[in-house]
Amino acid sequence: MKPIRPGVHGILDYLAAIFLALAPSLFNLNGTPALACYILAVIIAGLTLLTRRMPSIAKAIPVHWHGGIDLVSAFVILALPWILGFSDEPTARSLFVVLAVVEGVVWLLTDWRDRETVTEASRGTVR
């Protein structure tokens, strides 16, 4: 059994979004790295706001989809310094590498099974 429940993962996502929104100021990032932080903050908060079984408002995205998006995003975040051309900035590059590793570890430790969907499927009431 994995120790991070979807609700806790959602809280961690909101904290990550806040951290990313503050990262340009905290690490003196400008230009593309700062913009990437702001965009990631909005994407993470938006995804979490729309995911069921997390502290959210819409409950439109199944938890296992959120997990798939998180897994892909870990690899994308790792590659962003090279894709966006700021790999020669050590602070920005290191920040994104650490963010990707943390994203991957949290993904590995999160229980992505959507118990609500599994329960509905066993009852034959999946929508």
Is the whole-model pTM more than 0.85? yes
Give yes or no for residue 119 having a pLDDT over 60: no
pLDDT band for position 114 (cuts 50, 70, 90): low
Q: What is the 3-state secondary structure (H, E, C) of 51-108?
A: ECCCCCCCCCECHHHHHHHHHHHHHHHHHHHHHCCCCCCHHHHHHHHHHHHHHHHHHH
pLDDT band for position 124 (cuts 50, 70, 90): low
